[in-house]
Chains A and B, each alone.
Chain A
Amino acid sequence: MRTLLKFAFKRRFMNKMTVILQGIFILLVCLIFYFDKISDVLNLEFNQAIPINIENSLRKWIVNEDEWKTQGFIFTNNNEEISITKDKEVYLISKVDEINVQSKIYQLLLSNHQLRMESESNSSVYKWLEKYESIEVEFLESKVEDNQFKHQLIILFLTSIYFMMLNFIAVNSNEIIIEKTSHMIPIILSSVSVRVHFITKLIVGFSSIFFQIVSSIGIVGLIAYTRYRLDHGAGLIKLIIRYLPINIESISLTDLLKLLDFKWTDLNYVLLGLLFILLGIFLIQICILILSSKVKTMEEAASIQGPFYLFLLVTYYLALSLNTSHSLSTGLGYSLSFVPMFSMLIMPMRLLTENVMPIEVILSILFTIVFISLIFILFYPVYVKGIKN
């Protein structure tokens, strides 16, 4: 088995194409993390501030000019630019048709308005209002956190991993098809048993996914670190704030990390989420492996992955549509978090959005393991027959 593993890994990773693809991946990650610098060098407009012509009386009224700058705006006297005027209580804004820019200008004006109101308020009334509007509550036993951005980021991370794995689910079937079409199967099976062949394929496929995840995280982490060392990613965060619909008040990667307030428990959720994804992919790999043993031609091979890709996409969109507290705690999402294959994405989402009891997590894992065992027991003879004939 060791020889078969060594050979498969060598063929899979030690080839020109893998090196080229890794190079492309590194380039893409660099492009993302250094996008602001690159756009500066190429003199692209991404990083240039949007000039706003604001009438002088109104300009004096602006108290949050720094905030406007952070969001990518600069005040000028040029009539050709976006202009903001005020007619009684109505702000008139011209020459801006992008909804994203409109929304940001509205938010900044509102923020300015609120700051003015706060500073003009009678301090005792203001304090009373503040107290009236909110109470401070701390739940000692609950883990529910009001950090939506962090959850969004973790879900983004897990779904990225999920799609990364999609690339690799077909690897095993491809390998078997290559062995079949090159007539190597009889030669290999004259040296190793079918059981060893099957287990090797599973190990190779699973390890490939794992290595891919680790290497990708490593590459992203390394490039993010170089960016952090360079300037704490100041320009990049500015660009993110300006172009993405997220509302954060940080200006550097350090601020962003502080804002995210990562704890060890978050790492537990990420790892648990990964475990569910890996188990799901493992199950799909077994199914594809068994099916690919029946494949006889390249034409058949091309169609084998289709239904699985479709299923994984459906699971992804289902998980997105069920990503509400109600669905995940009592509805369809709750039920599907125990169903093998579906649980690989829905259970991680539940873990991130609500309190999941440990027994529920254990049960879900157990169901998947039992399902994997059943598939193996019932369909392994199909694999043996398929691979031999």
Chain B
Amino acid sequence: MLEIINVSKYYGKKNVLKTCNLVVNKHDIVGILGQNGCGKSTLFKSIMGLIDYDTGEIKYNKIICDFDQRKKFGYMPEQRSLFLDLTVYEQLKFLGELKGLSIEYINKQINELIERFGLTDKKHCSLNKLSKGQQQKIQLIAAIIHDPEVLILDEPLNGLDFYSVQMVMKELKIQASLGKLILISSHQMDFMDELCTHLLVLDQGETLKQGKLIDLYKDYGVCVSVNSDSLWQGISKTHHNLIEKGSFIEFQYTSLVEAKKSMALFSKEISITQIKLHNVSIGDMLKESE
């Protein structure tokens, strides 16, 4: 269990992280969200001991996090952190050795992980010849090469195409199922919906929202997305909770009962070709929080 208790951080006089509290258990995937400069990276760096926080404490398995504790953590920073003149194998081998792994274990992990990420043919390629997305995958491999108990991932989906995002998400879900604790930040909200089990929303260092995603959904009710051949513009006047999303119109309701009633009335007015019932997206949750 990772506990962040009343952690604050100042840069000069600016309070960039205000008494942050968070508890992460095994199998949890916690999405840390917020606008640029809200304190996500500061929180990650504090957990990793890369900056000294000013107040509070961070504990892992009830013990204050020190360097030895953090050896069990895997970290992927936001910026590209690679020696680009090295090959994929050289870079991963160096980082593996730095973690104190045996060469046999490193080789096994490299072969296994690059295969899982579809990079087997790039093993001896120089990193500067790889695409941005491929480099991003190498960074993720570097973060998990030592099979850490906690994964701290700062914007790991940046620069990845749709298929690569799916691949990374699949990998993270596997890691979580193996009992890892995952903290992840991203601006790609659609994927966060699919990935996270918990949420921490920060705004200028302050905790705006926090908790299990399933509980947070309850606060926002349910959504119904409708696709229709008919003209629906007239309906918008009577449905103030309507959002246009591509070919779908999305309605938000506080409860399932209310949604059912409304849909029954709505179907009498226009013909519905597709209908989807789902939770409010994290993106919309954030919009409402603003």
CB of A303 within 8 Å of the partner chain: no
Counting chain A CB atoms within 10 Å of each CB, the highest count among B52, B82, B84, B98 belongs to: B98
Q: How many residues of A contact B (CB 8 A)?
A: 18
CB of B20 within 8 Å of the partner chain: no
CB of A388 within 8 Å of the partner chain: yes
* A182 in contact with B83 given A3-B97, A187-B75, A187-B95 (CB within 8 Å): yes
**Chain B 41-90 interface residues, beta-carbon cutoff 8 Å to A:** 45, 48-52, 67, 70-71, 73-75, 77, 79-84
> Complex Cα distance A388/B50, Å?
5
**Chain A 178-200 interface residues, beta-carbon cutoff 8 Å to B:** 182-184, 186-193
Counting chain A CB atoms within 10 Å of each CB, the highest count among B48, B81, B84 belongs to: B81
CB of A389 within 8 Å of the partner chain: yes
A186 close to B75 (CB less than 8 A): yes
CB of B220 within 8 Å of the partner chain: no
Q: Which of A4, A191, A389 contacts B51 (CB 8 A)?
A: A389
CB of B140 within 8 Å of the partner chain: no
> Complex Cα distance A184/B50, Å?
12
Counting chain A CB atoms within 10 Å of each CB, the highest count among B45, B50, B77, B142 belongs to: B50
CB of B191 within 8 Å of the partner chain: no
B94 close to A190 (CB less than 8 A): no
* B142 to A, closest residue via Cβ: A187
A 252-292 to B, binary, CB cutoff 8 A, 1 in contact else 0: 00000000000000000000000000000000000000000
B98 close to A192 (CB less than 8 A): yes
Specify which chain A residues have a CB less than 8 angstroms from the CB of B100 in the assembled complex.
3, 191
Closest approach, in angstroms, between the C-beta of A11 and any C-beta of chain B?
8
A 159-191 to B, binary, CB cutoff 8 A, 1 in contact else 0: 000000000000000000000001110111111
Which 10 A-B residue pairs are closest in the complex by CB-CB distance?
A: A3-B97, A183-B79, A191-B98, A183-B81, A190-B75, A186-B77, A187-B81, A3-B98, A193-B67, A191-B99
* 19 more CB-based (< 8 A) A-B contacts, given A187-B142, A191-B95: A3-B94, A7-B97, A182-B82, A182-B83, A182-B84, A183-B77, A183-B79, A186-B45, A186-B48, A186-B50, A186-B75, A186-B81, A189-B50, A190-B48, A190-B70, A190-B75, A191-B98, A191-B100, A385-B52
